[in-house]
Amino acid sequence: MKKIGLLCLVLLIAGSFIGIMAAGREAVTDAPIVLRLAETHSQDYPTTQGNYEFARLVEERTNGRIKIEVYHSSQLGEERAVLEQVQFGAIDFTRVSISPLSAFVPEFDALQMPFLYRSGDHMWRVLEGEIGREFLSSLEENESGFIGLCYYDAGARNLYNSRREIKTVEDVRGLKIRVQEAPLMMRLIELMGGVPTPMPFGDVYSALQTGVIDGAENNWPSYYSTSHYEVAKYFTQNGHTMVPEITVASSISMAKLSEADQEIIRQAAWDSMEFQKEKWAAFEAEAEQIIRDAGNIITIPTPEAIAGFQKAMEPLYAAQPAYVQDVIARIQAVD
Ligand code: GTR
């Protein structure tokens, strides 16, 4: 009798122990998967807004199982260093400009050649069409460590400096111009006659202020949001290149997720593009207005002067490997 009583007690204790364990396991599997996304811009910038939309869609479509935390304002580092960490799986996602990515995957030069796109619409037809999709999947196929998710708008890049008005390509001669850390951007400034100075985005303001560099190049929103417009008054709207933004995932991080969750992430990123484009258009107009109101010297080059900038880029086109030449021809053929 005593033995049966003891057995019951043991079974009872074991039973509740198993119960507690099971509850504990459930609590563990119920905890959301938290992933990190690195962004260089501030919280209200259109790309950051796009990242939040991406995160919102992922959370909604996984019923809260996957949360993406957005670390804006370079909290996780500058673009080049962040890309390295994404390759190692230390950061799960990042939104960067195609320029720094091209330092890792040179084929992407094909999407950032100077004077390549005829308009923003042309660029979007390329990116959302066959070519853009091909480039996203090529990252995975080439085992670059990145998985391409989507593109965002970054308008056109223009020259600005603190020294003098630039009306023609000849006026660039000798100016020290900061560029993104990408070989193509260095060559571009060199061919204009400038002295290219690569450095991280976050260092440009003080380099302009202290005169370490004479100028830089970027779109209206970045010229404004970084306050570069306060220390480099001369802005030339030459639109020498349109460099799309891109969001990539770490292959290592993605491999830890189910196929179904990976698909949700891909689709959510793609679906956040429209939202970002709208934010971009509004902010681009607003930034331009603020800069004009601030009294900066805005130069719009004549068509002949633009042709001069274009002509200076010819050696860059001629030097591209066959593969890039091929894609350029395909891009030009897109209506
Ligand atoms: C901006 C772009 C950033 C960064 C920056 C730069 O237009 O959105 O991601 O690449 O340019 O010049 O470093």
> What DSSP string runs through 302-330?
-HHHHHHHHHHTHHHHHTS-HHHHHHHHH
Encode pLDDT of 57-85 as tens digits. 999 999 999 999 999 999 999 999 999 99
Q: Is 42 helix (H, G, I), strand (E, B) or coil?
A: coil
| CB neighbours of residue 143 within 10 Å | 8
Q: Which of 158, 159, 180, 199 to mutate to test the pocket of ligand 1 (most atoms within 8 A of CB)?
A: 180
Q: Which atom of ligand 1 is nearest to the CA of 47?
A: 8
Task: Note the pLDDT of residue 140.
Answer: 94
Low-confidence ranges of the chain (pLDDT < 50): 1, 6-28
How is residue 185 written in tokens? Answer: 């951007």
Q: How far is the CA of 63 from the centre of ligand 1 (A)?
A: 33
Encode pLDDT of 248-275 as tens digits. 999 999 999 999 999 999 999 999 999 9
Closest protein CA for atom 13 of ligand 1 = 201
pTM (2 d.p.): 0.91
Task: Note the pLDDT of residue 30.
Answer: 79
Helix, strand and coil in the chain, % to nearest 5: 55, 20, 25
How is residue 285 written in tokens? Answer: 């107009």
Encode pLDDT of 189-223 as tens digits. 999 999 999 999 999 999 999 999 999 999 999 99
